[in-house]
Amino acid sequence: MKAERSPLVRSRSSIALINQSHLLKAAEKMRPSVSEEERLKYRKIYANFLSSHGSAVPDAGSKQTLA
């Protein structure tokens, strides 16, 4: 008697084709992981940290590096 393979096993050998329309559809459903209220709270904490170390607070939306 031949054992039947599960769909999970068969799908491992399949190739998933993902195109831009799939990514755009997924992007429409994306939401921030941190609420606006939490983001502002963390920004204030960061500003306090910077001011205690003699640094200026960067402009909102700017990216910072440690390089």
Instruction: Measure CA 17 to chain center.
Output: 22
pTM of the model: 0.42
**Is the CA virtual torsion 37, 38, 43, 48 positive or negative?**
positive
Instruction: Report the distance separating Cα 17 and Cα 8, nearest Å.
Output: 17
Instruction: List, for residues 26-38, the tens digit of each pLDDT value.
Output: 999 999 999 999 9
pLDDT for position 40: 96
